[in-house]
Amino acid sequence: MQPKEPSPALRLTVDSRALVANWNTLNRLSGAAEAGAAVKANAYGLGIGKTVPALWEAGCRDFFVAHWSEAGPVAAHVPAASVSVLHGPLTEQDAIYARHLGVKPVINSLAQARRWIDAGGGQCDVMVDTGINRIGLPLTDLGDSLILQLSIDILHSHLASADEVSHLNALQLERWNDARGQVAHRRASLANSAGITLGSAYHGDLTRPGIAIYGGTPCAALDGKIAQVARLEAAIIQVRELKSGDSVGYNATYVASRQMRVGVVSLGYADGYFRVWSNAGTMIHQGQALPVIGRVSMDMTVIDLSNAPTLAEGDWVEVVYDLPDAAAKTGLSQYELLTGLGRRFAS
């Protein structure tokens, strides 16, 4: 008989109540507009299955992914017509797949418009570039006959600097409003998480929050309004006694100044706990801080157990990972901190 696979030594817990509360906050801040949800990159690393059903039950009716490989997993939980694929049909096969599955491609170029029409067309979205200069139709292409043939649900654009005071925000708003007057569409969407806080002029009919749903605060206007969603835990795989003068980890970046008890936890940069946490991170147990000592390696991190003398091998500790605070301490963006989490976490 095949033995049961051992349990992972890492856990990622998604607080669905906090997730829903964050979406409700963003939906309320969206005023007359409705809030959708960016669920690309496996819901920012937290898992489609853990997030999309909860958001749908809360009232979210529009979901946005980037890659075609992400469309099916989301559509397994919600009606396919509520899913938009931001990168659009890059090939004829993409267009055929979209029609078969029932999801909406986001048209970003005249070539994609032609591809969609030639595949049989149907409801789609359109992305207009108003100044971020990534993907999206130039404003000058909006009057093209191919665009006029499309059945457009959502007319999108994307803000480049919503998280800061920038003249570009008002300029993009002006261009987006100009685009809204040029092409027929059912709904219009411009604001991401930070863009929601810029005011009702930026809301249109639909907002597209992402990072703030998952516990990030991309701008000061959201401080205190967004709850932590992701909680990380790691198992202690060994306990060691150090003598004064013993060093810890690669390159001996920490040297014990006294006799001390330390724990090796099964977490490292392969799991998204990057080397910036070396001699800087903290884990906790029953409210007691357990500082990271030495350099974070690929699969292991060492912590000082002085404040938790009863911890033993096999016990679990929580990783301090509040996104805004972690970003301030590491210099990494909240997006990197969340989407960089590895695949070895169990729920």
Backbone angles phi, psi at 38, to 5 degrees: -80, 120
Radius of gyration of the CA atoms of the chain, in A = 23
Exactly one of 40, 50, 254, 335 is catalytic; which is it? 40
CB 186 within 8 A of CB 176: no
Exactly one of 44, 104, 202, 250 is catalytic; which is it? 250
Dmax over Cα atoms in the chain, in whole Å? 77
Q: How long, in residues, is the chain?
A: 347
CA distances from 174 to 152, 170, 194, 209 (A): 20, 6, 18, 21
Q: Would you list the DSSP string of 156-210?
A: E---SSTTS--HHHHHHHHHHHHHHTTS--SEEE---HHHHTT-GGGTTTEE---
Q: Is position 321 annotated as part of the catalytic site?
A: no
Backbone angles phi, psi at 302, to 5 degrees: -105, 140
User: Which residues belong to the active site?
Assistant: 40, 250
